[in-house]
Amino acid sequence: MKKPQSVAELTELGRVRLSEHFFMREMLYSEVANFHGMPNIPDDPELAIEAGSKLCRLVLEPMRQGLGHITIRSAYRSPSVNGYCNERLKQGDLAYFCGENEFNRARHIWDQRDAAGHIGATVSLVIPGYLDHYERSGDFKALAWWLKDHIEHYAEIAFYPRQCAFNIRWYEGPSERSITHVEPSARTLLTKSSMENFAGDHSAAYAGVLPVHAGRA
């Protein structure tokens, strides 16, 4: 599949089914691209589909099965959209919260391999079924530990304060499976594979809170 050159071709790309419940169309939406009139279209759709399919099948579908509906906030970003967003961030505008293109290859830029030659894909999302608990408690850790215990193929997770939104990544290369909490002035590491608190069962951290919709899809 070549890069879409028409509305009809872009429509066909949007119809690509990445997994049972997820399609490419929802992964292409970008508020930055929408507001500034910038196309958010992969140069290499086949690579984007390959990485996105792995993300959806191995990470998002198990989450959906255990936690119910998933709301996608940001997924694929073209290099031009991500680069523009990062430049605005460097100017101090926190509404444009994007890392540099080099960092985001094989993350939000699904159709570019990273420096090691690996593919990967990141999505930013919210779990509506967890939101009421989070707004009452401010606790992201119950969800974080559930993800660590139940989502075998995530590579890294980064939580953010608004709505307990988080980035979650699938990556074909080696990973420390880190889970962090990110604020504008601080990044706190909760766990990673080399830490003593990583191994074992953490169900005490989410008992009575999660899973929200066990067995429902």
Tens of pLDDT along 57-94?
Answer: 999 999 999 999 999 999 999 999 999 988 888 888 87
Beta-strand pair 120-126/166-171: antiparallel
Q: Residue 43 corresponds to which amino acid? A: D
Is pLDDT of 216 > 60?
Answer: no
Q: Where are the domains of the chain?
A: 7-205
Is pLDDT of 215 > 50?
Answer: no
Average pLDDT over residues 101-120: 96
Average pLDDT over residues 149-176: 96
Is pLDDT of 27 > 50?
Answer: yes
Instruction: Give Cβ neighbours of residue 201 (< 8 Å, ≥ 6 apart).
Output: 149
| The total number of residues written for the chain in this structure | 217
Whether the pTM exceeds 0.85: the reply is yes
How confident is residue 13, by pLDDT bands cut at 50, 70 and 90? very high
Q: Please, what is the Cα angle at 78 between 73 and 81, to 5 degrees?
A: 80
Does residue 122 contact residue 167 with C-beta atoms inside 8 Å?
A: yes
pLDDT at 217: 41
How confident is residue 210, by pLDDT bands cut at 50, 70 and 90? confident
Distances (CA, A) of 4 to 11, 13, 39: 9, 8, 11
Tens of pLDDT along 180-200?
Answer: 999 877 889 999 999 999 999
Average pLDDT over residues 90-103: 86
Average pLDDT over residues 37-51: 96
Does residue 158 contact residue 166 with C-beta atoms inside 8 Å?
A: yes
